[in-house]
Chains A and B, each alone.
Chain A
Amino acid sequence: MLYREAGDFKTSYASDSQTFPIKFDRIRYWAVMAIAFGIVPFLINDYWANAVFVPFLIYAIAAIGLNILTGYCGQVSLGTGGFMAVGAYACYKLMTAFPEVSIFFHVLLAGGVTAVVGVLFGLPSLRIKGFYLAVATLAAQFFLVWLFNKVPWFYNYSASGQITAPERTIFGIAVTGASTPAWAKYLFCLVILTGLAWMARNLTRGSIGRQWMAIRDMDIAAEIIGVNPLTTKLSAFAVSSFFIGVAGALFFSVYLGAVEVGEAFGIQKSFLVLFMIIIGGLGSIFGSFAGAAFLVLLPVLLKNILVGQLGWPTDLAAHIELMIVGGLIIIFLIAEPHGLNQLWRVAKEKLRLWPFPH
């Protein structure tokens, strides 16, 4: 009964176009923020941080990034893993070259480097569309992973070929390296995710977001009303790659600590993030969160139930997980192509009219 627009009168266009037009949604949003910032950091331990929260936060950034490119601008990309690797290696090079600069700026700069690389690999999108573009980005994926393997400069000539994050602190508290407390990892990622998600929301509701969606929905009509396809597509590649680069930098420095490029940023990563936005919902910020949460939580949940409760062998559980994810993707593509976000929206729509739907 609380979920109503009635009585919540909008008196300005600014308040009419706000993110959560219904009061209950706004309260819920602030409640989630309060729990995320005020309560979770005090309760979190290493298991929860490493198994659930930190990967969720990082994948959410990557999913928002890919959703901007694929969901909002309609340009299919299979290069997410490669771009995350660019972010990770850029972050590593910056961390080792400028140890006195804060890691916060390294992460953002790594995003900037990835944006430039993303624009370069986005150039073919001006000529090719759909599956052909997907193949072109696939080339980016394999080329970038090959590059980081073959050129020793990128991993500072280390014998193992791995990159390892040195310890870096913010306000005297370690956020990377072995001695990082769980809550610091969590908060560092949460702050960056919150900022980026807010920016993504602003971009997608404004003029640039409408240009992206115009290109996605009908590129010829978009051009006729004045959308420059060149700058619009490339800006989508730049913004998307920035997000994915930041995600890659955090994935390497905060989450894994040490990375071997083919293992951490292979083609599986590209597909994983793509599945997140398909299951979560293309063209939606909330969908990116939902998809990331779903695909991070599902393996944890399955492992706890199948291995922990039923005592199945671990490899069997791992294979069943693959089958379930694959099946879910097919189900979603057939039954609900707009993903969890659409289910959520339909539920809200129903709730708005409940209990008198007529």
Chain B
Amino acid sequence: MTAQTPAGAYTTADGRQIGGVVLEMKNITLRFGGVKAITDISFDIREGEIRSIIGPNGAGKSSMLNVISGFYVPQEGEVWYKGARRAPMKPYEVARQGIARTFQNIALFDGMSVLDNIMTGRLTLMKTGLAAQALWWGRAQAEETEHREKVEKIIDFLEIQAIRKTPVGRLPYGLKKRVELARALAAEPKILLLDEPMAGMNVEEKEDMCRFVLDVNDEFGTTTVLIEHDMGVVMDLSDRVVVMDYGKKIGDGTPDEVRNNQDVIDAYLGVSHD
């Protein structure tokens, strides 16, 4: 342990180094009119970890992700990113700060090919102006090729070489999910938010997806926030888990701690009211 090790840094069971806090949610409360979607929730996300958010339907998990990615502005509470308080910002500004996400319902660009979809993911990294692009002059073509190379690496990584020129609309569901992950990865994000990446998949597709999530974390060191309903997947993949129910946080800790937490068991299995 060196002197620079941030407070709370730890090493996982499989030997990965988890660093300091990169994103911290402080006392977040989100209301829609009179309905409280999220009530006073605080948790942190550390560099390099796979952090899961779980909870029954309607617990506010997706709302939480939407707060992180800038779709919703919470009425109370603060978001701290990379050690500074983040002012309320638009989703595209959040994206430019290095937070990428996938959606629960696939949100790909159906009219474009797989390759173009993934290339679009890199647009925050592309700098050529309108005039240069129109004339295909100077940096424009070189930049396009440069980014194409990076995109091809991601295509290889996620094993979707065969479909790179296929229009996304023609792909089956499982592959669409994979392309969406590829598009998010193309932005070289610091934090990757995955909203139910395995929903509706069969066992094999789930296994593939788990492998990709682990590989991404392993190879690129991407911090990953995962929402998932499959408890087997969550418990196997996650380093730490936040449990939400009715917009409140009822548990936070390693998978083992969460599994033995009485509140969590009650929320999932119900309590007898006799």
User: Which A residues contact B (CB, under 8 angstroms)?
Assistant: 12-14, 17, 199, 202-203, 206-208, 210-211, 213-214, 216-218, 220-229, 235, 239, 283
Contacts and interface: CB of A to CB of B under 8 A. Distances in A.
B241 to A, nearest CB: 24
Chain B binding surface, main DSSP class: helix
Contact of A213 (B111, B148, B183): B111
B109 A217 contact: yes
A202 B92 CA distance: 25
A273 B108 CA distance: 30
Chain A binding surface, main DSSP class: helix
A220 B69 CA distance: 12
Nearest to A242: B134
Nearest to B128: A207
Chain B interface residue bracket vs A: 35 or more
Given A13-B145, A217-B112, A202 B140 contact: yes
B19 interface: no
A220 B107 CA distance: 8
12 contacts: A14-B141, A206-B144, A207-B126, A210-B120, A211-B123, A218-B108, A222-B109, A222-B120, A225-B95, A225-B123, A227-B123, A239-B130
Contacts of A224: 69, 71, 91-92, 95, 100-101, 103, 107
A217 B116 CA distance: 12
Given A202-B133, A218-B107, A224-B95, A210 B149 contact: no
Contacts of A225: 92, 95, 100, 120-121, 123-124, 183-184, 187
Contacts of B152: 13
Contact of B109 (A202, A207, A214): A214
B79 interface: no
Contacts of B230: none
Question: What are the 5 closest A-B residue pairs judged by CB atoms, nearest first?
Answer: A221-B107, A226-B95, A217-B109, A226-B124, A202-B136
A213 B116 contact: yes
A17 B115 CA distance: 11
Contacts of B133: 202-203, 206-208
Contacts of A213: 109, 111-112, 116, 120
Contacts of B123: 207, 210-211, 225-227
B140 A206 contact: yes
A235 B133 CA distance: 13
Contacts of A283: 111
Nearest to A206: B133
Interface string B73-106: 0000000000000000011100110001101000
B130 A235 contact: yes
